[in-house]
């Protein structure tokens, strides 16, 4: 079971969180004309990569905040966690 540092609550067990997918996906702006391909990429296509992955989790049974977690998908190592609106310098 992963141990995730919620930026608001501190270290908590994985069973308090729910997974929310790739955090690098940006929703296209409302009312913006975009191609089918762009929309398709937003709704369906994910990289499913092996290694460092920035992903969303929600601290569901805690503060209910959505957070960003930088995790290695192969080793489960967590490098860092951020608030949802935090700027991340890569």
Give the interface with other proteins as residue ranges (CB under 8 A): 1-3, 13, 18, 20, 27-28, 30-31, 34, 39, 42-44, 56, 58, 60, 64-66, 75-76, 78, 84-85
- The CB-of-70 to other proteins minimum distance in angstroms stands at 14
Question: φ and ψ at 40, to 5 degrees?
Answer: -60, -45
Residue number with CB closer to other proteins (1 or 48): 1
Gyration radius of the chain's alpha carbons: 14
Distances (CA, A) of 85 to 56, 63, 68: 11, 15, 9
Instruction: Please tell me the total number of residues recorded for the chain in this structure.
Output: 90
- The CB-of-36 to other proteins minimum distance in angstroms stands at 8
């Amino acid at each position: 079971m992963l141990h995730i540092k919620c930026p608001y609550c501190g270290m908590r067990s994985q069973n308090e969180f729910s997974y929310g997918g790739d955090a690098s996906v940006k929703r296209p702006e409302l009312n913006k004309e975009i191609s089918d391909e762009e929309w398709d990429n937003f709704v369906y296509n994910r990289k499913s990569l092996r290694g460092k992955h920035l992903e969303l989790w929600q601290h569901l049974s805690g503060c209910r905040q959505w957070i960003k977690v930088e995790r290695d998908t192969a080793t489960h190592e967590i490098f860092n966690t951020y608030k949802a609106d935090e700027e991340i310098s890569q």
